[in-house]
């Protein structure tokens, strides 16, 4: 008698479930759907009306991430990338640090990049040499600056990439080919100081404890006789180039 009662309750529950599913989804294949999709949606991972897998099997329908990350650490256990409204980018959030699209421990200044004994480069540099500007459209960017009165100072193919320098008075803009430029304010790639005695300057900069991007001076076949340069990183993650044009 007890077994019959348990069987009756089970059958009644299954019938009630399917009747409710049929009413909700306007389908007669409720039991088949629940069997196939059960377990595909986890608790808290369904968004009402927008769960592609497990539709009808997630009664809470609280949140349904399509790519596994919604900006909420609860539903994004990896949390290496916690985007919400584009405020956090990949690598800016550590696990569990994404809160309403902001990175609680996001770095806004790097004091470690400021050495205790800074190097005065005034005796090596006469000031700005150029500004580096990334673009996915080199020729159109050249055309734009030519429209402003700039002229092409030099243009070279470096390892299959089309680089150009645009000149206006004492200002140079390096047009840098880049398939994915930032395309927002702050999109300048680097500033470059014109220097002499680059080997001596490099040693002083490195010995002082600046964060070196280049571990050696780089030679490049640019300008008439080439150029030599190295980069450091500033405390705002800015890239600063020191470049000597070979005379």
Q: What is the DSSP string of 114-177?
A: S-SS---GGGTEEEEEEEEEEES-HHHHHHHHHHTT-EEEEEEEETTEEEEEEEETTEEEEEEE
Domain count within the chain: 1
Q: Identify the band that residue 205 occupies on the pLDDT scale cut at 50, 70 and 90.
A: very high
The closest of 50, 62, 56 to 37, measured between CA atoms, is: 56
User: Quick check: is 37 in a domain?
Assistant: no
Residue 66 has pLDDT above 50, yes or no: no
Supply the mean pLDDT for the chain: 75
Instruction: Tell me what pLDDT residue 216 has.
Output: 97
Q: When comparing pLDDT for 227 and 103, which is higher?
A: 227
User: Quick check: is 106 in a domain?
Assistant: no
Domain with 233, as residue range(s), is: 112-245
| Cα–Cα dist 178/162, whole Å | 10
Q: When comparing pLDDT for 106 and 184, which is higher?
A: 184
Phi-psi category of residue 231: left, alpha or beta, with phi > 0 → left and psi -120 to 50 → alpha: beta
Q: Work out the average pLDDT over 187-211.
A: 97
**Burial of residue 49 (number of CB atoms within 10 Å: 0-12, 13-18, 19+):** exposed
Tokens representing 226 are 């080439």
Give the SS3 label for residue 55: coil
Residue 88 has pLDDT above 70, yes or no: no
Model confidence pLDDT, tens digit, residues 166-192? 999 999 999 999 999 999 888 899 999
Q: Work out the average pLDDT over 220-226.
A: 92
Q: When comparing pLDDT for 232 and 84, which is higher?
A: 232
Residue 113 has pLDDT above 70, yes or no: yes
pTM value is: 0.59
User: Quick check: is 59 in a domain?
Assistant: no
User: Quick check: is 76 in a domain?
Assistant: no
Residue 151 has pLDDT above 60, yes or no: yes
CATH of the domain at 142: 3.10.180.10
Handedness of CA 165, 168, 171, 177 (dihedral sign): negative
Q: Identify the band that residue 234 occupies on the pLDDT scale cut at 50, 70 and 90.
A: very high
Q: Identify the band that residue 90 occupies on the pLDDT scale cut at 50, 70 and 90.
A: low
User: Quick check: is 166 in a domain?
Assistant: yes
User: Quick check: is 152 in a domain?
Assistant: yes
Residue 30 has pLDDT above 50, yes or no: no
Instruction: Tell me what pLDDT residue 237 has.
Output: 92
Lowest mean pLDDT among 4-8, 28-32, 192-196: 28-32
User: Quick check: is 13 in a domain?
Assistant: no
Q: When comparing pLDDT for 95 and 107, which is higher?
A: 107
Residue 136 has pLDDT above 90, yes or no: yes
User: Quick check: is 19 in a domain?
Assistant: no
């Amino acid at each position: 008698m007890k077994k019959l009662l348990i069987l009756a309750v089970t059958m009644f529950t299954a019938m009630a479930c399917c009747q409710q599913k049929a009413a909700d989804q306007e389908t007669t294949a409720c039991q088949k759907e629940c069997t196939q999709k059960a377990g595909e949606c986890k608790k808290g991972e369904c968004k009402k009306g927008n769960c592609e897998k497990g539709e009808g099997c997630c009664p809470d329908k609280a949140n349904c991430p399509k790519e596994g990350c919604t900006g909420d650490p609860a539903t994004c256990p990896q949390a290496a990338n916690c985007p919400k409204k584009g405020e956090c980018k990949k690598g800016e959030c550590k696990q569990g640090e994404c809160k309403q699209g902001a990175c609680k421990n996001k770095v806004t200044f790097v004091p470690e990049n400021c050495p205790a004994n800074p190097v005065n480069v005034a005796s090596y540099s006469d000031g700005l040499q150029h500004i580096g500007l990334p673009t996915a459209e080199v020729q159109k960017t050249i055309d734009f600056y030519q429209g402003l009165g700039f002229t092409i100072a030099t243009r070279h193919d470096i390892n299959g990439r089309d680089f150009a320098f645009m000149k206006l008075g004492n200002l140079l803009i390096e047009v840098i080919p880049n398939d994915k430029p930032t395309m927002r304010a702050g999109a300048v790639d680097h500033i470059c100081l014109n220097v002499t005695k680059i080997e001596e300057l490099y040693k002083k900069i490195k010995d002082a404890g600046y964060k070196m991007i280049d571990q050696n001076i780089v030679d490049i076949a640019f300008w008439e006789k080439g150029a030599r340069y190295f980069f450091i990183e500033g405390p705002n993650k800015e890239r600063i180039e020191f470049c000597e044009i070979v005379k």
